[in-house]
Structure 1
Amino acid sequence: MTQAAPGRTADEVDPRPVVRHERLHAGRVFDLVRDDVDLGAAGTVTREYLDHPGAVAIVALDDADRVLLLRQYRHPVRGFLWEVPAGLLDVDGEHPQAAAARELAEEADLTAARWDVLVDFATSPGASNESLRVFLARDLGRVPEHERHVRTGEEADMVERWVPLEEAVALVLDGSLHNPSAVVGILAAAASRAGGWASLRPVDAPWPYRRGALPA
């Protein structure tokens, strides 16, 4: 195993040359692609992965430090998961914070006057290029009833529950919650609050692993 050079411990965008790219399947949300990647001395390897538009999620925190969780059916895991509001970055040119505000309104009938970047993560970097940004939304309000989104499919019967942040952390740690956006977002919110919210970043903070920001 090669030792890393001394310096800051941080992920680094440093793409290896792709000598061949092929789309194996065009899906409704994401594609399955295959790349032949030149790793230099290690040779050329073939990797198949999901080419994903990316997504945003929202930890909505009310004045009592309760986080909003939504119960939604997820067919791939054949069950109902408690999640934070989230959605795809599938509108061309839409700013991630605007996408988050749209998803919060559509899924939870909520608005927020205060937005911050809480945490970013790659959902499954060995199998997908999906990058997800979790926003912290505060100073919440309700979308007027006549402007509310009509939810369909799995979203039609979502149940909402407001859970104290400390209780939500306990639910993550005892194995009750499994949705990655909820797990990462809840733990990040608890850690940031413990530090006086000093870790929060502005909504325009760099996001190097978002698909549009990565080299082709």
Structure 2
Amino acid sequence: MTIKDTPEEWEIRSTETPFTGNKTSVRTDEVVMPDGSVVRRDYQVHPGSVAVLALDEEDRVLLINQYRHPVRHKLWEIPAGLLDVPGENPLHAAQRELYEEAHVKAEDWRVLTDVYTTPGGCDEAVRIFLARDLAEAEGERFEAEHEETDMEYARVPVDELVRRVLAGDVHNNCLVVGVLSLVAARGADGLDALRPADAPWPARPFAS
């Protein structure tokens, strides 16, 4: 048996979109089950996201602290953002987010991992990049707005972050998955064996 996710699509009898928001929407599908029954499935339609685990020369991860209204918490996170432009190259989006949120650039980029954040209720796909060889970006800082005006920043050693994850002190999906994937990659074939930054991403195909 090969342990690998495979694309599949069951018959949809009908579909409707009862809510459309600024960036996402809610869809209701009537889906035919293997036994022939038809059930309703409600889920959020999402454009997809990118996230950046930026690792500096002292083995510290660049973090931001941001208020997240749905969970009523200020969360420590890695820089991330939506794929605002359909078909946009995710690497370009990740580079933009690292610049806008942290005013940092990186010379070395790899794909760390790809995830569906909540596949039971949302079709969001996230590509998490590893960025190394960091430096401060040139030019003026991006003008923040809304929740981003209250951001805090930190650089935290990888070992300390792992302890925080396992202690339940940090909860952001991309941070948790990213830092544990980093440690796993080091213990396997090493970071240089990670996929290249332009590796195909079937969940969100893009132009090269």
Contact 1:25 1:32 in 2 (8 A): yes
1:58 and 2:52 equivalent?
yes
Contact 1:72 1:154 in 2 (8 A): yes
* Cα distance, 1:199 vs structure 2: 4.9
The share of aligned pairs that are identical, in percent, is 47
Cα distance in 2 between the residues matched to 1:199 and 1:47: 39
Residue 90 of structure 1: which of 69, 78, 84 is its match? Answer: 84
Could you tell me which runs of 5 or more consecutive residues in structure 1 were left unpaired when the two chains were aligned.
1-6
Equivalent residue, structure 1, for 2:7: 13
Q: TM-score, normalised by structure 2?
A: 0.94
Cα distance in 2 between the residues matched to 1:178 and 1:123: 13
What is the identity, as a one-letter code, of the residue corresponding to 1:78?
A: R
Residue 151 of structure 1: which of 144, 150, 154 is its match? Answer: 144
Equivalent residue, structure 1, for 2:28: 34
Q: How does 1:30-179 map onto structure 2 within 5 Å?
A: 30-144=24-138, 146-179=139-172
What is the identity, as a one-letter code, of the residue corresponding to 1:54?
A: G
* Cα distance, 1:10 vs structure 2: 1.1
Could you tell me which runs of 5 or more consecutive residues in structure 2 were left unpaired when the two chains were aligned.
none
Per-residue CA deviation, residues 95-153 of structure 1 (Å, 9 max, x unaligned), is 00000000000000000111100011111000000011100000111112x33211111
Aligned-residue RMSD, C-alpha: 1.4
What is the identity, as a one-letter code, of the residue corresponding to 1:13?
A: P
* Cα distance, 1:42 vs structure 2: 4.2
Q: TM-score, normalised by structure 1?
A: 0.90
Residue correspondences, number: 205
* Cα distance, 1:59 vs structure 2: 0.2
